[in-house]
Amino acid sequence: MRKPREEEYNAGSLCAMIDVVFQLIIFFVCTINMQDKAIDDSIHLARAPHGVQVTKKDPLEINIDIDSRGRISIARTQISPAMLKAIVRKAIAEHGVNRVPIILRGDQYTRHSDIQVALNACTEAGNYKFKFAAFKEKNTK
């Protein structure tokens, strides 16, 4: 009678697995700062010390920047009101009406008529819910 042979253990090289792990680490380190770079630092938000601070961020939100000259941009890319309307319309078609939060970030020196242009483009696309971004001062106490 023969003894039952133990099954051979086929151990693959761990070098390939380590390479994949390092590739993933590099990918996440590089992409984690992309959202921060999409926010335009040249926009000086108005101060709202009594406003509600947002702690949870929705991944569907669209941040629309309107600078002091009235130029509309998303992720530091200047767009026209017609392009803004098309972007909002596409987001609504994909995710539903009022499911896409729109954050308007107007410079403190932006004229109201320039912000109204962005609002009109969004409402013509079908979205009627907006949030306005402002700078909340930190308590010094």
Q: What DSSP designation does 55 have? A: -
Pairing of strands 62-66, 102-106: parallel
pLDDT digits (tens, 9 = 90+) for 92-129: 899 887 788 898 988 888 899 999 999 999 999 988 88
Q: List residues bridging with 65 in a β-sheet.
A: 73, 105
Residue 75 has phi, psi (to 5 degrees) of: 55, 45
Query: Which domains occur in the chain, in start order?
Result: 38-132 (3.30.420.270)
For residue 9, the number of C-alpha atoms closer than 13 Å in the C-beta half-sphere is: 2
If DSSP codes are grouped into helix, strand and coil, which group holds residue 103? strand
If DSSP codes are grouped into helix, strand and coil, which group holds residue 17? helix
pLDDT digits (tens, 9 = 90+) for 49-85: 777 777 777 778 888 999 989 999 998 889 999 999 9
pLDDT digits (tens, 9 = 90+) for 19-57: 888 888 888 887 776 655 666 667 777 777 777 777 777
Q: Where are the alpha helices (DSSP H) in 2-141?
A: 14-31, 34-38, 81-95, 112-125
Please state at what angle helix 112-125 crosses helix 81-95, rounded to 10 degrees: 40
pTM of this prediction? 0.65
Among 60, 82, 58, 71, CA closest to 105: 71
| Identity of the amino acid at 102 | I
For residue 42, the number of C-alpha atoms closer than 13 Å in the C-beta half-sphere is: 11
